[in-house]
Amino acid sequence: MHLQWQVVYLRPRLEKKTAEICRINGIPHILLLRQRTQTYQRRQVTTALPVFPGYLFVALDPPRKLALQKTNAVLRFLVPDRPFRMLRQLAQVRRVLRHDPMLRAVKPLLAGRRVRITAGALMGVEGVVARMSATMRVVLTVDLIGQGVVVQVSREQVEPLD
């Protein structure tokens, strides 16, 4: 059967558990995690948290979709119009997370200039300018869920897209 990439909107705090269910059932999935370090009673504890809380990206066919629905963790399935674009955006976010594992999701701007980073470790990554200054803030978004991450780059490392 043909697998179709979808976004699963989940009940709060069930992303890692649902990803484990996907792994056990052989369901291809993407769960992007970031690191957060906190201090508890003079000890530093690092935890892995979802970059996009409440969302899990999965490739499903009808039997696998039914298996996920039975978990009672799923609130809604979202089907992207252009799954390849979504996968490319997720790959860009994953690439940035390798560079900075502490990144957090932000809501993307509705207005802003689309740009491509032309130099450095993030060369080729595309996003929207969030703020113009000596160092620009560029938002890399996953359009379907309306969230993204912010990176800072110098103006010389960015070119506008048409």
pLDDT at 83: 94
Give 1-24 pLDDT, tens digit per residue.
689 999 999 999 999 999 999 999
Which residue type, as a one-letter code, is found at position 136? M
Rounded distance between C-alpha atoms, residue 144 and residue 16, angstroms: 20
Statement to judge: residues 16 and 60 lie in one domain: yes
Statement to judge: residues 68 and 100 lie in one domain: no
Rounded distance between C-alpha atoms, residue 150 and residue 128, angstroms: 9
Rounded distance between C-alpha atoms, residue 157 and residue 146, angstroms: 25
Which residue type, as a one-letter code, is found at position 117? I
Ramachandran assignment for 44, one of left (phi > 0), alpha (psi -120 to 50 degrees), beta (any other): beta
Statement to judge: residues 160 and 88 lie in one domain: yes
Question: Across residues 117-146, what is the average pLDDT?
Answer: 83
Statement to judge: residues 112 and 87 lie in one domain: yes
Statement to judge: residues 25 and 99 lie in one domain: no
Q: Give me the percent of the chain exceeding a pLDDT of 90.
A: 54
Statement to judge: residues 86 and 63 lie in one domain: no
Please identify, among 79, 95, 127, the residue that sits at the C-terminal boundary of a domain. Answer: 79
Which residue type, as a one-letter code, is found at position 12? P
> Could you tell me the pLDDT band of residue 138, with boundaries at 50, 70 and 90?
confident
Could you tell me the CA-to-CA distances from 158 to 28, 101, 113, 114, 122 in Å, in that order? 34, 22, 11, 10, 10
Supply the CATH number for residue 89's domain. Answer: 2.30.30.140
Full domain range(s) for residue 104 = 82-162
pLDDT at 91: 95
Give 30-78 pLDDT, tens digit per residue.
999 999 988 888 899 999 999 999 999 999 999 999 989 999 999 999 9
Please identify, among 79, 106, 132, the residue that sits at the C-terminal boundary of a domain. Answer: 79
pLDDT at 107: 55
Whole-number mean pLDDT of the chain?
88
Could you tell me the CA-to-CA distances from 81 to 78, 111, 142, 143 in Å, in that order? 10, 22, 13, 11
> Could you tell me the pLDDT band of residue 155, with boundaries at 50, 70 and 90?
confident
Statement to judge: residues 43 and 102 lie in one domain: no
Question: Are 123 and 103 spatial neighbours (Cβ–Cβ below 8 Å)?
Answer: no
Residue 108 has pLDDT above 70, yes or no: no
Helix runs in 1-117, H state only: 15-24, 62-69, 83-99
Residue 37, judged by CB atoms within 10 A of its CB (0-12, 13-18, 19+), counts as exposed
Rounded distance between C-alpha atoms, residue 4 and residue 39, angstroms: 42
Q: Pick the residue with more confidence: 112 or 153? A: 153
pLDDT at 110: 39
- The number of folded domains in the chain is 2
Residue 111 has pLDDT above 80, yes or no: no
Statement to judge: residues 74 and 113 lie in one domain: no
Supply the CATH number for residue 11's domain. Answer: 3.30.70.940
